[in-house]
Amino acid sequence: MSIVVTGATGHLGRHVLEQLLEKVPADRITAVVRDEARAADLAERGVRLAVADYNSPETFGSVFSAGDKVLLISGNEFDKGRVGQHKAVIAAAKAAGVALLAYTSAPGSLTAALADDHRGTEEALLASGVPYVLLRNGWYHENYTENLAPVLEHGAVVQAAGEGRISSASRADYAAAAVAVLTGEGHENKTYELGGDEAWSFAEYAAELSRQTGKDIAYNPVPVETYAGILAGAGLPGPLATILAGVDSSIEKGELVVSTGDLSRLAGRPTTPLADAIAAAVKG
């Protein structure tokens, strides 16, 4: 039996693998990757590698074994039919007789188009009969802190979220919750709504950026259509720009405020404050 992590070399997957290695022997971990070369360091540490691609269902035929615990990290190819990709993984897991399949989903309160693929995957997973865990991950700090250059250059945080608030957390926080589920007991057929301990607004985000950088950073709210145009102008494909701008509309409605406390409970510690994520990004 193994703990199997798909998308293992992605941003979230890397955090999950690092934290798993602190808790279980490397030979009990299988990292599912598309490119073995990107996971060479994991193999050197004793992690087993399995090469498979969400776009090639047949490659998952021998990835799973009976009794495995699996983390299905949602794909990020919005134009490749993510529900179909995920269904292929679920079918392979069911055929193998895995003990548990945890899926990184989106908050149940989120109505933006971004959530559609997650809801479709959840339905497929529940219909499969495979013991499941829905890890409904909220927004990541890194969605904002990883791309500070234009914000600092223009002295403005531009979003279409009005005065809406976000319960974001770090990728490491969400990884800790996943690891707790994969290494713990009693999580079968549970749904966890995950978000940071403290919600914040973009005005507060701009103020914290100003404090830490010594620059005068303002928050400039714009209409959703304007923001979609800005994202498209920055190089994002039009459909993806529309989807991401739609998330801001949901933020304005309060749909990314998650107050369950599930994330800090699973992680066994408070979630990472936004100010800490900003500090790391500014130093980096």
DSSP classification of residue 102: E
pLDDT for residue 76 is more than 90: no
Q: What distance in Å separates the CA atoms of residue 102 and residue 128, rounded to the nearest whole number?
A: 13
For 50, phi then psi, to 5°, come to -130, 130
Q: What is the pLDDT of residues 153-190, one digit of tens each?
A: 999 999 999 999 999 999 999 999 999 999 999 999 99
Q: What is the pLDDT of residues 236-280, one digit of tens each?
A: 999 899 999 999 999 999 999 999 999 999 999 999 999 999 999
| Total residues belonging to the chain | 284
DSSP classification of residue 144: H
Q: Looking at residues 123-129, what average pLDDT do you find?
A: 98
CATH class of 3-138+169-194+259-271: alpha beta
The angle that helices 202-213 and 274-283 make with each other, rounded to 10 degrees, is: 40
Q: What distance in Å separates the CA atoms of residue 70 and residue 36, rounded to the nearest whole number?
A: 19
Q: What is the pLDDT of residues 2-61, one digit of tens each?
A: 999 999 999 999 999 999 999 999 999 999 999 999 999 999 999 999 999 988 999 999
**By percentage, how much of the chain surpasses pLDDT 90?**
93
Confidence tier at 78 by pLDDT (50, 70, 90): low
Q: What distance in Å separates the CA atoms of residue 221 and residue 190, rounded to the nearest whole number?
A: 37
Q: Is 222 helix (H, G, I), strand (E, B) or coil?
A: coil
**Domain map (residue ranges) of the chain:** 3-138+169-194+259-271
Q: What distance in Å separates the CA atoms of residue 256 and residue 160, rounded to the nearest whole number?
A: 14
Q: Is 158 helix (H, G, I), strand (E, B) or coil?
A: strand
The pLDDT of residue 147 is: 87
CA angle, 206 then 136 then 80, to 5°: 90
